[in-house]
Amino acid sequence: MRALLSFIVSTTSFGLSLLAGVAGAAEPFNWSPQVDDPIHTPAELVESMHSAFGYNHCRAVHAKGVIFEGEFTPDSHAKEITKAPHLQGPSSKVNVRFSDFSGVPTIPDNDPMANPRGMAIRFELPGGASTDLVAHSFNGFPASNTDDLRELMLAIAASEPCAATPTALDRFLEFHQTARAFLAAQKTPASFATISYFGVGSFKFINAKGEGHYVRYQVVSDAGDQLLTDEEREKQSANYLMDEIKARVAVAPIGFALYAQVAEHGDRINDPSIAWPDNRKRVLLGRLEIKRLTANTAEEDRRLVFDPSNVPTGIETADMLSSFYSKAFRLSAEEARDVAPVARNRGTNEKPSRMKINEIVT
């Protein structure tokens, strides 16, 4: 691993008698150890990402991506836990963007810094509205709050290969073991279609009876997880994932199952760095079928900004990260649309850090 990040399935019926997460339960969940307002603003978080990856006038993270169209068909179990319109039926149109991590729009797909991979989904709702889902290929997050995430970005920015040791990243990871584990656990997929994705943040689902459940999304590949060894990864081309997924979809649609993992007593709701146990109940929300490549123009990519807090009736954000991250995404998109002032003030500079993180985290 050279840089920032080097990031089964069973259908179950869901009885209405489920106790965990039902609205009205007495203090059933474990909230984040830090739930105070962040010290730093969304703009400062975006600035730290640019410090790490350069001022490239595009998305601050997940800059390199490819967009497809498809269809989502809800499962009958979904309405047991939420009244969200796209989870009731009928099928809805979706836009899906697969991406590499980092804010470098030309990052090679086989660079460890391109992990974790991203998957963002926009569901079209009746009347022209929409709702978004943002996920990445790791069950967890490197930081429990946005201030720590900003510190991590700044530590990466300061830790160039020539930096004296211990570097800023060394010092950060010494006191942030969750981030260390996150960096060490990243895996490289053979295809965007052969890895599962996990929603970033928690949500409260509310059904037609007013009952509530705290959930996290899981997007599970029909093809199953197929990963590359480090040796196999190094032999791949710089655009192997982008080229492969285009060719795959041109032959036949690809599928994913969308699940809601339901929290139980003691699960951390407001801390995205802590994954919930695998034995938690999962509700099948529906099936996603990705059918065709879009035009993928630069304008389309700039316009399609996915917002984790863009939720419909029946879904509420349940952690600080989702709303904060949403503001950061919008700021990053606005900056990308206003390239000239940014260029005058800062210049254009791709700056992928080349720290050998495996020497730190393994």
Domains and CATH numbers, the chain: 42-361 (2.40.180.10)
pLDDT above 70 (res 105): yes
pLDDT band (50, 70, 90) for residue 357: very low
Task: Tell whether the torsion through CA atoms of 64, 69, 70 and 71 is positive or negative.
Answer: positive
Q: Widest CA span of the chain, in angstroms?
A: 60
Q: How far apart are CA 142 and CA 301, in angstroms?
A: 26
pLDDT the model gives residue 40: 79
Total Cβ atoms within 10 A of residue 32: 18
pLDDT the model gives residue 118: 97
pLDDT the model gives residue 333: 63
Instruction: Tell me the two tokens of residue 279.
Output: 């034995």
pLDDT band (50, 70, 90) for residue 72: very high
More confident residue, 189 or 29: 189
pLDDT the model gives residue 13: 32
pLDDT the model gives residue 171: 93
pLDDT band (50, 70, 90) for residue 348: very low
More confident residue, 9 or 74: 74
pLDDT the model gives residue 362: 45
CA nearest neighbour of 267 among 12, 27, 14, 35: 27
CA nearest neighbour of 321 among 201, 163, 237, 195: 201
Instruction: Tell me the two tokens of residue 36.
Output: 């105070």
pLDDT the model gives residue 351: 53
pLDDT above 80 (res 308): yes
Query: Percent of the chain having pLDDT more than 70?
Result: 79
pLDDT band (50, 70, 90) for residue 223: very high
pLDDT band (50, 70, 90) for residue 211: very high
pLDDT the model gives residue 326: 67
Average pLDDT over residues 2-15: 32
Average pLDDT over residues 285-314: 94
pLDDT the model gives residue 331: 67
Q: How far apart are CA 194 and CA 98, in angstroms?
A: 12
pLDDT the model gives residue 45: 86
More confident residue, 37 or 32: 37
pTM of the model: 0.84
pLDDT the model gives residue 36: 57
Instruction: Tell me the two tokens of residue 199.
Output: 């929603």
pLDDT the model gives residue 137: 97
Of 6-15, 225-234, 256-265, the least confident: 6-15
